Amino acid sequence: MTFPLQIAERDELLARAESIRPIIEADAEQNEADRTLAKTSVDALYDTGLLNICVPRCLGGQEADPVTQVEVYEAITAMDASAGWCLVIGATSIGALGNSISDTALDEVFKNGRIPKASGSVFPSGLAEKVDGGYQVNGRWAFGSAIHHADYVSTGALISENGKPIRDAKGNPQLCHICVPIKDVVIEDNWHSNGLRGSGSSHYRINNVFVPDEYILKRMQTQRGGKLFDIPTYGYVAGCHAGFALGVAKRSLSEIVAMASDTRRKLSGVHLSDRGAFHKELGIISSKLSGARLFALDILNQLWTATNNDERMSLVQWGECRAAMTYVTEVAAEVAAFSYRYGAGSALYQPHPLQRYLRDIYTGIQHGVVSDENYEALGKALIGKGKWEPIIGGRPNKDA
């Protein structure tokens, strides 16, 4: 299946990804030991421009379409899942920052035309108290993936007054998104995880920091950039999770296929490559993965096509987008579990990739974006009970 709206640099970006394979794969075990991405991997992702694939073109980025993003994230994740995870968080964070930072702050954040590295979260864990000229921010945020090598952090906060969140007439909290330099962030050393150990997804705190008005991100008012930034929040990050999951599945499957001729059962002495049960399960799981990949890419292509045509997707299409991200992640977990199980005793030990990718996918599957509630959203839409939410673009046009 072809996707004619992919950016012209698609092949070049994939070639750049392949060029750093030796570095990314070589750093995998060190990433785990250090609980953050090695500098050599960070530099490789940055120097090849892969961390900048979501940055507006006017700032020197590629502003890549969702399908191209998936392919790039998939490629890097298949080399090391923690590197892939840091790439998706870093790329989307700096892309959104470049799109929504004020013109006044732009010269400092993108100083001398250099694209910085970023981390962040949209979840509003902290409080932003309105003061003259800006906000006084306090709070603690979880899962700051890629934060150990970030220059800036963009994160959500609840606008407050006298220490209490401000709510509108309907009781909804008022939110803002802030940008702070890493020097104003306290990173906690608490990332002792089962999987994605190399992602450095530490909690972080912002303690009584003044954030000027010009460093408040205008998420609903695009400052610069093209159609990529017309996509609602869920669609903007959907490709991240599809690419990550597909990369885990791709590497897991390739590992067990490569092992098949050399792996044998101790009792029977039969090689894995000669076992009928393995043949059947491999055929089934490979088919499921191909279907899940096509499902994800197709709905993301529909999203990109609609965005380019200034059309709003229907609730059913949005439900399919959400369900596809959950489904492809669940299938990737099945692939990793299948591969690990047939990998026998050798897959148990570090640094074997199969044990690492199994842990990594079952860590990534905990993310809220791939919750099984996405299936509920699709089901509701199919029977006419779906509801529009701000994260998927608010209310529809009359013909949606």
Place of tokens 């159609």: 227
SS (H, E, C) 380-395: HHHCCCCCCCHHHCCC
Percent of the residues in the chain that have a pLDDT greater than 70, as a whole number: 96
**CA pair distance 78, 87, nearest whole angstrom:** 12
What b/e sequence results for 239-268 when a residue is b if at least 16 CB atoms lie within 10 Å of its CB, and e otherwise?
bbbbbbbbbbbbbbbebbeebbeebbeeee
Could you report the per-residue pLDDT of 329-350, keeping only the tens digit for each? 999 999 999 999 999 888 999 9
* pLDDT, mean of residues 360-377: 96
- Model confidence pLDDT, tens digit, residues 244-260: 999 999 999 999 999 99
Q: Flag whether pLDDT at 52 surpasses 60.
A: yes
Q: Kindly state the helix (H) or strand (E) to which residue 290 belongs, with its residue range.
A: helix 276-308
**β-strand pairing of 152-161 with 118-131:** parallel
Q: What share of the chain is helix, strand, coil (3-state, %, to 5)?
A: 55, 15, 30
pLDDT in tens, 87-145: 999 999 999 999 999 999 999 999 999 999 999 998 899 999 999 999 999 999 999 99
Please tell me the pTM assigned to this model. Answer: 0.96
With a pLDDT cut of 90, the percent of the chain lying above it is 89
Fold assignment, 119-215: Butyryl-CoA Dehydrogenase, subunit A; domain 2 (2.40.110)
- Min mean pLDDT across 27-36, 108-117, 164-173, 312-321 is at 164-173
pLDDT in the model for residue 395 = 56
Superfamily of domain 10-104: Acyl-CoA dehydrogenase/oxidase, N-terminal domain (1.10.540.10)
What is the average pLDDT score of the chain? 94
Tokens 């099945």 belong to 334
Mean pLDDT of 140-169: 95
Is the pLDDT score of 237 beyond 60? yes
Q: Do domains 10-104 and 119-215 have the same CATH topology?
A: no
Model confidence pLDDT, tens digit, residues 271-315: 899 999 999 999 999 999 999 999 999 999 999 999 999 999 999
pLDDT in tens, 179-197: 999 999 999 999 999 999 9
The domain segmentation of the chain, as residue ranges, is 10-104, 119-215, 231-392
Residue 399 has a pLDDT of 44
Candidate CATH numbers 1.10.540.10, 1.20.140.10, 3.40.1050.10, 3.30.390.10; the one for domain 231-392: 1.20.140.10
The CA angle 290-249-29, to the nearest 5 degrees, is 160
**Cα of 238 vs its chain's centroid, Å:** 7
**pLDDT at position 266:** 66
d(CA 159, CA 22): 46
Do residues 217 and 97 make contact, with C-beta atoms less than 8 angstroms apart?
A: yes
**DSSP per-residue letters across 114-177:** ----EEEEEEEEEEEEEETTEEEEEEEEEEETTGGG-SEEEEEEEEEETTEE-B-TTSPBPEEE
